[in-house]
Structures are given as C-alpha cells and as structure tokens.
Amino acid sequence: MRPGYVWGQLHELLSSASERVVLVAPFIKKEVFVAAVAALGDRDVELLCVTRWAVMEIAAGVSDPEIAEVAERDPRVSIVLCHDLHAKVYVADDRCLVGSANLTGRATGRRIPKNLEVLVEVPADHPEVRLVLDQVQRTAVPADAEMGRRLREQANLLANDEDRPDLVVLVDEVDSTPTRWRPETRMPARLSRVYRGLKCDFPHEILAGVVRDLAHLDISPGLDETAFSSAVRTRLYELAEVAALARTGSLNQVDLQRSIMEADGCEEEVAQRAAENIAEWLKYFDEVRIVQTGPWELMQGREIR
C-alpha cells in the first residue's frame, strides 16, 4: 500500500461532499482534522465530528481536544462525544467509508512510519452504518473548546507527573481500566470540581491525585452532577472488595484491609489508607454509613438519627 493511500481515500470522499459529512473516529489529531475540513473547500457543507476524549488518551498523545478550536472558528463544524466509541465511519452525503483508520497522521498515512489500515466503501444507508449513527444521535454529548481546554489541562498534569509510569493506551476492544485502581483522593468532593473544570486552589500534589483518580475512572465528559456521581458509584462497585458490600450489606475494616493487602501485595499501612479512602468515597457517593464497632464497619442505607 502506497504512503498516504488511506488519506487519499478520505480526501476524495470529503472533496465529493455537497451537503453533509460525518466523521466518526475515537482518535483524532488536530493536524489531520484541519486537513479534513480544508478538503471541503469553501462549500456550505455541514460537518459533524463524533469522537471520544479521555484524559489518559489525551495525555498519551493519541487524541487532540484542540479540534474543538477548529469548530469554534468554522460554523459548519460541530463536535460531539461518545465515550464508548470504537467505530471508524466516514460519511459524505450518500457515500461512506468504514474500516480501521482513525484520523491520525500514522493511520491516514500522512506520517511515516504509517499504520497498516483499511477503509472500504459501503452505501451510507447500510444497516450497520445506520445503527452506529442512530446510537450516536441517542447518546452523544456536545463538546466545545472550553471542555477541550479543561481536559488538556488535566492531561498535561497527568503526563507531567514524575511518579506516573509511561502512559499506555489500548486501542482494541480490551478493557483498559486498571483492575487494581484504588481511590487516591481522601476528599471525594474534590473530584467533581476538577471534572467540571472549576477553579481549584489545591496544592499540586493533591490536584495530581485527583486527576489520576479521574483518569482511572474514565468517565464521559459533560455529565451533570447526578450522572457524574452515579458513574463514580458504578466504578466503585466494580472493585472486588466493594462488591462484597453490595452482596452482604456490610463490610468491615479488617476484611477490607486484608483483601487489599492480598490483592496488591502491599503493606498494612498502605492497605489501611486505601480502605479509609474507599470508605470516604462510599459515604460521599452512596447511601453508606460508618458504624463504629472497634474497627469501623460500612453499612448500606442512610443513618437514622
């Protein structure tokens, strides 16, 4: 396959558009997005971009939220986010390309070394294409340049954290959420403020911990307070130790610490802090109370006074 072949397919498709273009790709780099918009020329063609922005992926350099700045300057362009997106679909009027290529330099062959990719033309009304686009319409949330700036700030903080190992992004249908994540932030109320991009005067080390928690949580941008809390609660109960609380209705400190020590191979002091953090998160994000019985015990349900 000659260099730039995939980009040649995309450029020809975009150049043929007369009414509407839809670009669906999880990873989009600004340079390629600018070139895609330029392929439309000055024609009055609506362009909808469907992508996903995750702090960890932005920090790893595979996705640029700055594409929203392009949309901000061009009234033809709008961007929406689908957090679970994996499809690559490119539509121009009644034509469509589907395949493996994201809108990145290497995927399109605009940069060397290039990826081995494929795009195949299918009718835009193909049932599977319509299924993806219908799902987008039902679930996507709008994105703007301000949201992109907030996520970039968080990604920069994550990428510049000296205590963090190299960032690795899994682009296949593999769950990239670490199974051994434990809440790092002692005060979970801080999460929402950073998530929403509000001004936070936290010390750098505390802010970095909040960002690491948000990166591991991997929650879709743009949720309101209720939906955000629900997403965090769901992620909490995916922890094996916390799942026991859902099964039995209670979880004591000794069992929780022992479980963490066995799973992580950590010292008792580290496990104790992790258990205390989990307890604080459950108190904040769920109807859980702490009962003092020597070592504390977590109980489901509101405390009645």
Radius of gyration (Cα) for the chain, nearest Å? 22
pLDDT (mean) for 3-29: 94
133 is written with which tokens? 């686009």
pTM: 0.73
Q: What is the pLDDT of residue 296?
A: 55
Name the residue ranges covered by the structural domains of the chain: 5-144, 177-300
Decide which of 30 and 292 is more confident. 30
Listed ranges 37-41, 146-150, 177-181; the one with the highest mean pLDDT: 37-41
233 is written with which tokens? 């609660």
Is the predicted pLDDT of residue 28 greater than 60, yes or no? yes
Is the predicted pLDDT of residue 54 greater than 90, yes or no? no
To the nearest whole number, what is the mean pLDDT of the chain? 86
pLDDT tens sequence across 262-285? 888 889 999 899 999 998 998 899
| CATH T-level assignment (fold) for domain 5-144 | Endonuclease; Chain A (3.30.870)
Q: Three-class SS string for the chain?
A: CCCCHHHHHHHHHHHCCCCEEEEECCCECHHHHHHHHHCCCCCCCEEEEEECCCHHHHHHCCCCCCHHHHHHHCCCEEEEECCCCCCCEEEECCEEEEECCCECHHHHCCCCCCCCCCEEEEECCCHHHHHHHHHHHHHCEEECHHHHHHHHHHHHHHHCCCCCCCCCCCCCCCCCCCCCCCCCCCCCHHHHHHHCCCCCCCCHHHHHHHHHHHHHHCCCCCCCHHHHHHHHHHHHCCCHHHHHHHHHCEEEHHHHHHHHHHHHCCCHHHHHHHHHHHHHHHHHHCCEEEEECCCEEEEECCCCC
Is the predicted pLDDT of residue 211 greater than 90, yes or no? no
Q: What is the pLDDT of residue 219?
A: 85
Q: What is the pLDDT of residue 3?
A: 57
